[in-house]
Chain A
Amino acid sequence: MSNRFSLKSVNPDYSTFSEEVTVSDSNSIIALDIQTKFQFLSDDGSVYHEYQFPSDRDIQNCGGYVDKLIKYRSQLAREATANMFQTNPISPELPVLKGRSILVDTLLTKMIDRFIVNNASTKAKLFDHGCTVAEHYEMLDQMLHAYSNRSALDSISYYGLDLSPLALAGARLLHPEAPPSDLNLILSEGSDISVPSNSMDFSMSIGVINHVANPIHALDRLIDLTRLAAIFVLWITEEPQGFWAVNHSGFSNYFLSVKDLAYMAESYGHKGSFHFADFTPEKSSTQPNSYVGVAPERLELMGSYTLVFCTDEYVVPGLSPINFGNLP
């Protein structure tokens, strides 16, 4: 570090300003200017220097997930993943192997294995909603090897949908081993899912439904297009009604209500039921301050749930039935 500057990292707190904006209370639309930058302040609080990056959501998503994919492919991550399904599994210490995505991939691995055993080695059709660079394809490949000595290539016919051409280019270029017929990439907004009903065996959507144009429609479509099990990470509020907020990229995010999910559970009760896998309160999120103008009291009521909607046949260990009258 520098011998010439005494640099101390201090994240600014603008919460007092943002509460005055009340973006989320009124659902008002305000034009925002979002700058990704370094900011240096003098002792008196004045801005000493700023250094801006030409960045946007596409770049942060694509580049960030390429970084994750490369970390997945490291020797350390491969070894840790290989250990996950042993009789006495060792909890992975690598940060990249902790969190919701890994839990989703673990559940899917067990489901896909069950599917292949039940269906004479037919490949499972998997729909990845908001697939970015198809990093889940990589992790599923490693987990399938570890769990049942299979590979993604042998086991999955993958359909990834994303809004970003940059991310989809990354998905294609970083999986040269997967034939395009088994690594299908769909450029589309996340509510505009033109995949037919019951055409996919499994689907996944990790934190995507909340920020598409029509979240309820997207959730409906995902359950509709999935035959056996859909895994979701959803941001849900305990407030009686769902609400929209603006995230740090200036895009709208909808926080689902329990009522929204109860409606979905009832609509698709003939097909399967919801199960609970995990919950992370928003206040302990790895990405704090994601939303503009959401007061701390509201944040207290928010969190991300890992939920599975599936047929009875695909309830795997780690899931427990959930009734939306009593969300944990």
Chain B
Amino acid sequence: MKNATSLTWSAGKFVYPKGSSLPIHFMPLQDFSLEVALNYSLLIALRFSRLEHHTGLLSKLEIGQWRYRLLTHEVVEMVKACDFEQPRFHDFGSNYALLFEEMKLAKNEIGNFEYLLHLSDTSHDHHINTLHLIEDWPLQLCQKPIDPSLLSTYSVVIINTVLGVRPQHDFPPPLESFSLPSHAQGCVLTMRVCESQTPIVRTTVYGKDFIIPTLDSALQRMGEAKRHWYWQWLSKHDTGFFIPEPDVPDVGVLLAYTARTASKLPKFRSLAYEEIV
């Protein structure tokens, strides 16, 4: 490993006397007490809100903060801005099916929908099937790589690398490998991108390297779909998830959506494909 930056790390609870920066105690935490616990707690809060018509758990501060960090609610807001007709969602990137649970909660606004969760392996099947019982709402799991020709006129593709880069989630196929057929209903993107001239490699706090595409290349790719998009750039969103490096740009988030008919959400910008062409 040439020129690798050497760091020691620890994950757990650091206890400080109030007002002091000198820790007095550390307790290591296992995975199930970190992101796993947060994901399951968010899922419980979402489902409770839907089935018991009570948003109390979702308004818990830490749950709300985690929900915003994952931007799951923001994805649903983009879907709601689109006038989809009986959408068939193809979700790439979320192995807890958190977006699926968010969509169920928004059923009144979205209407009836089908949901396909695309995963690259079968190791996630058990917990997804356990958490998302078919009696509650049908969920289809797909392990095969998607063939764009199989997308129907009802299909809505969701590509989510905000979830995809996190542990226990499933990294979606890169945008470059994906061409959205013109007959599909639409597409919703939630992508980690950077503002540099060329793609960069960044390392997450879990020690995993990812190639981060540029914002320009993502916008270019969106334009190539020959659709009208709305997009928003969150330059500082959860930047600490990647270990900082001197003189290397932060990794932000691109939110974008396209549909045959869609309204513009506040703070979103319009991108007509002619601008790119």
Indicate if A94 sits at the interface (CB-CB under 8 A).
no
Indicate if A270 sits at the interface (CB-CB under 8 A).
no
Per-position 1/0 for B16-59, Cβ under 8 A of A: 11111011111111001111111111011101100110001100
Indicate if B8 sits at the interface (CB-CB under 8 A).
yes
Most B C-beta atoms less than 10 A away, residue of A8, A40, A56: A40
Q: Are A33 and B69 in contact (CB under 8 A)?
A: no
From A45-53, A202-210, A317-325, the one touching the partner chain is A45-53
Q: Are B14 and A34 in contact (CB under 8 A)?
A: yes
Indicate if B13 sits at the interface (CB-CB under 8 A).
yes
Indicate if B205 sits at the interface (CB-CB under 8 A).
yes
B interface, by DSSP: helix, strand, loop or mixed?
Answer: mixed
Per-position 1/0 for A243-270, Cβ under 8 A of B: 0000011100000000000000000000
From A116-124, A154-162, A166-174, the one touching the partner chain is A166-174
Q: Are A11 and B34 in contact (CB under 8 A)?
A: no
Supposing A63-B39, A70-B126, A173-B48 touch, asked if A51 and B241 sit within 8 A by C-beta, the answer is yes
Q: Are B34 and A36 in contact (CB under 8 A)?
A: yes
User: Which residues of the other chain, A, contact B205 by a CB distance below 8 angstroms?
Assistant: 38, 40, 49, 51
A169 CA to B41 CA, complexed, in Å: 10
Partner of A37 from the list B11, B37, B207 (CB cut-off 8 Å) is B11
A34 CA to B37 CA, complexed, in Å: 17
Most A C-beta atoms less than 10 A away, residue of B1, B19, B52: B1
A62 CA to B28 CA, complexed, in Å: 18
A interface, by DSSP: helix, strand, loop or mixed?
Answer: mixed
Q: Are A173 and B44 in contact (CB under 8 A)?
A: yes
The number of chain A residues with a CB under 8 A from chain B is: 69
User: Which residues of the other chain, B, contact A5 by a CB distance below 8 angstroms?
Assistant: 4-7, 203, 207, 243
Indicate if A87 sits at the interface (CB-CB under 8 A).
no
User: Which residues of the other chain, A, contact B38 by a CB distance below 8 angstroms?
Assistant: 53-55, 59, 63
Which A18-47 residues have a C-beta within 8 angstroms of B?
18, 21, 30-43
Partner of B7 from the list A8, A37, A250 (CB cut-off 8 Å) is A8
Indicate if B183 sits at the interface (CB-CB under 8 A).
no
A14 CA to B60 CA, complexed, in Å: 31
Q: Are B34 and A3 in contact (CB under 8 A)?
A: no
Q: Are A59 and B27 in contact (CB under 8 A)?
A: no
User: Could you show 28 A-B contacts with beta carbons less than 8 Å apart?
Assistant: A2-B203, A3-B1, A4-B5, A5-B5, A7-B7, A14-B26, A21-B17, A31-B19, A33-B18, A34-B13, A40-B9, A40-B205, A49-B205, A54-B38, A55-B38, A59-B37, A59-B62, A62-B40, A62-B41, A63-B32, A66-B40, A66-B44, A67-B32, A67-B36, A67-B40, A166-B44, A169-B44, A289-B28
